[in-house]
Amino acid sequence: MSELAETTQFLAGREPWSLLPPDAVASFARRASGSYVRRGGVILAAGSAPGVMHVIRSGAVEVRDAADGLVTHEEPGACFGQASILEQRGSRFTFVALEDTLLWTFGTDVVEELVAVPEIRRFFTESRLADANVRSPEGGPVLQVPVRDMITRKPVTIPETATVGEAATAMDAQRISAIIVTGTDGDLAGILTDRDLRRVVARDLPASTPLREVMSTTPVTIDGDALALDVLMRLVDRKIHHLPVMVDGHVTGMVTSGDLMRLERSSPLYIVGDISRQNDLAGLVSVVGRVPSLVSRLLRQDAAAFDIAHIVSGTSEALWQRLAQLTEERLGPPPVPYCWVALGSLARREQALGSDQDHAMILSDEALPEHDAYFEELAEELTAALVACGFPRCHGDAMATKWRKPLTGWWRTFSSWLDAPTSEAVLNSSIFFDMRPIHGDAALAAELQRRILATAPASTRFLGHMAGHIGDVDVPIGFLGGFVVEKRGQHRDRLDIKLGGINPIVDIARHHSLRYGLPHVGTRARLTAAGAHLSEVDNLLDAHEFMSYTRLQHQDRQVLRGEAPDNFIAPSRLSEFERRHLRSAFAFVGRAQTALGLAYQTHILR
């Protein structure tokens, strides 16, 4: 069998090609180009705009979302890339070869010819709906949003007795591409779109032409209780861009293809994609400014705090990576390999709103003293850019402007902390032992982590002092079970939920990861992995989730009021249900502190 015949036979047995006549399949098969991708190779990255549609001939492809979560696996016959071509946007997902994979690729002209076939257009539309309704980390599918929630303004209307010129003037003044036409009773009588106006110009009709002669008198509408999914389906099927929204027989607004695009752009997938497309700091500042509204939306959808923090961290990682790329473009390539690493909450992927910046640089051991000028300038520019993007400087100066050294130097530093557990060394453990590579040679960070995890379990003195430090944190619950709040100052009658609740759980999880040499960085992953050695893991996981969610709700309300987000919660503003659960969460933290202290006899160390 010839290669063309084999390609034709393969395609003809799979949708959407099986929806075509046999001779048409052979015609498309001639235009296929083959490519080979080794296992682990990225075929299409989230946010990037594909120029081709891919079809898997053999092998398998893993599909991951923008937060690096697994979405699905694609097998031979599956095609991808066409949705981004049709919608003229970046890819929602990253496609990675799960094993050595052979692909056939088709150009945009093939995609356009395929969608001209109604059956194939519907197949691709249904595929796009399935993609949009995959449960993403944001807590709910984008296309499950009710139509009434998509309306952004009151309907702009004009009476049917008006002229074309009057309608065009109104559309220009309101900066809209369609206007709703109403009858004498105020109900929907028709719609005039920019497409209708183009026909007016083409026919050389005067501006005095009555509106009813050129408007669409039977516009396609949609009910306010429908979903964004229905909007997409209707727009694609009817090849239109505007839908008047009807509630109880009356028009209440208009949704458009642009509204649908903006809705999708509010998802983390689009924010990450937009970040990757920015070429200057001003653009990045603008995109990152959408993150607080994203958090608000996720909270309204009742997404878990773990998922929200993971998404916020994912957008931060994308931002930091883009900043590093742009800064290197200005400064030139680094003189030696290096790795810019995130520390603290971003490393754990547990960022909330208002997080400061914690980071460092690991340089190759090839670095010479004369190379430091480059890395000093790089660190200063990155730190300043992060400030501009809303990440305050770390009050403890845990930033690459101070903390950058070769791998060997870093290992000497960590070794000294593990060998001589001073109070400063224990304090540093709360920042520097949570590390994740952001940009550069990730092997440098991996090697440092390998050495730390190989040594830490035997560093019993350090682990003991670390346990003592964890136990020294006062949980804000009094002897009789009441909340211990600030007595004076700007945070009067409030408690620091991070300091007295979230941080001790994070510290306990970190302690166990070092004690047992666990490679996990996130708090949930560390607690789960340490489950065989740690009592009440489920209670600590629930306590961490509840307190993190309570903090996010508090920060969201602050942002809506125009205030800077912080960690100080007013128990009096919580419901009785929330106060009861917060007391229980703090109690679990206190019990875990006590158990750790007994295990290491920390009272002897004091």
Confidence band of 134 (pLDDT split at 50, 70, 90): very low
Question: Do residues 138 and 303 make contact, with C-beta atoms less than 8 angstroms apart?
Answer: yes
Confidence band of 70 (pLDDT split at 50, 70, 90): low
Place of tokens 């930033």: 399
pLDDT of residue 523: 94
Read off the pTM. Answer: 0.61
Question: Do residues 339 and 437 make contact, with C-beta atoms less than 8 angstroms apart?
Answer: yes
CA atoms within 13 A on the CB side of 483: 27
pLDDT over 50 (residue 90): yes
CA nearest 167: which of 144, 135, 134, 193? 193
Fold of 303-455: Beta Polymerase; domain 2 (3.30.460)
| Count of helices and strands (H, E) across the chain | 25, 20
pLDDT over 90 (residue 137): no
Indicate the domain borders of the chain.
3-134, 144-263, 303-455, 463-605
Angle 503-515/576-600 helices, nearest 10 degrees? 30
Fold of 3-134: Jelly Rolls (2.60.120)
Least confident of 98-112, 290-304, 465-479, 581-595: 290-304
How far apart are alpha carbons 569 and 427 in whole angstroms? Answer: 25
> Phi/psi of residue 334, each to 5°?
-65, 150
pLDDT of residue 261: 63
Q: Kindly report, residue by residue over 151-163, the tens digit of the pLDDT.
A: 877 899 999 999 9
Average pLDDT of span 132-150: 58
Tell me how crowded residue 127 is: count the other CB atoms within 10 A of its CB.
Answer: 17
How far apart are alpha carbons 235 and 243 in whole angstroms? Answer: 8
Q: What angle do CA 259, 305, 320 make, to 5 degrees?
A: 70
Question: Do residues 273 and 91 make contact, with C-beta atoms less than 8 angstroms apart?
Answer: yes
Confidence band of 457 (pLDDT split at 50, 70, 90): very high
Average pLDDT of span 490-505: 94
Q: Which amino acid is at 44?
A: L
Q: Which amino acid is at 522?
A: G
> Phi/psi of residue 156, each to 5°?
-90, 120
How far apart are alpha carbons 222 and 455 in whole angstroms? Answer: 64
Question: Do residues 101 and 36 make contact, with C-beta atoms less than 8 angstroms apart?
Answer: yes
> Phi/psi of residue 244, each to 5°?
-65, 140
pLDDT of residue 236: 61
Handedness of CA 381, 387, 391, 397 (dihedral sign): positive
Instruction: Measure Cα distances from 315 to 296, 309, 400, 536 in Å.
Output: 15, 10, 20, 32
Structure tokens at 402: 């101070």
Burial 491-525 (b: 16+ CB within 10 A, else e): beebbbbbebbbbbbbbbbbbbbbbbebebbbbbb
> Phi/psi of residue 246, each to 5°?
-115, 135
CA nearest 182: which of 259, 248, 244, 257? 244
Are both 3-134 and 144-263 of the same fold? no
CATH code for 144-263? 3.10.580.10
Confidence band of 4 (pLDDT split at 50, 70, 90): confident
How far apart are alpha carbons 335 and 321 in whole angstroms? Answer: 19
